[in-house]
Chain A
């Protein structure tokens, strides 16, 4: 069974940093892209970042480019999202999801809440 589990969400002050982690199991991890999608309270889904299975290619939404860094460790089946210079508008639930290469997200974690507030 495919499982994806996020962790690391917390309350952080504006300008601060946070590192999210995502542990995956039940599939050959390096064969799949992994991504992060966030959802502000009461709002819709917004793509944040994707990393290819080989970790050679990364993509970012313009709103986080230069502030967030996605990485993965294929030996540990984990993905990380390093978030710096956090803003109030970064607040929301961050979902980690498995992505079929060049295709859709097919398995999602339950999310981890990030709150950026003073």
Chain B
């Protein structure tokens, strides 16, 4: 099973600043990686797939990078609605696996 490790577990950032979230795979997943955003009481929402392709309707301030085992989600200028939990997920191999999440909180 491919283990996905996200860091940090909690990230405190001020509105308007940049946030950088990391995701590491225990073995290469090529670029078969997605990022999801989840707000309290809501379903996850797809942000990025294929490691760097933005999903429909996702603001340009969200960007993904990386390949193989190291991936990054960057939010260029945080808005109030961006404070949430973010998950990475690999779909390169079965079983599909998610990272433990990074909680992005207001500083």
Contact = CB atoms under 8 A, between A and B. Distances in A.
B43 A95 contact: yes
A104 B46 contact: yes
A106 B50 CA distance: 12
Interface residues of A, number: 22
Determine the main DSSP class of A at the interface with B. Answer: strand
Interface residues of B, number: 23
Interface string B44-55: 111001100001
Interface of B: 32, 34, 36, 38, 42-46, 49-50, 55, 87, 89, 91, 94-101
Interface of A: 35, 37, 44-47, 50, 59, 61-62, 95, 100, 102-111
Given A103-B91, A104-B50, 10 more contacts: A37-B44, A44-B99, A45-B38, A45-B89, A45-B98, A47-B96, A59-B94, A104-B46, A105-B36, A111-B43
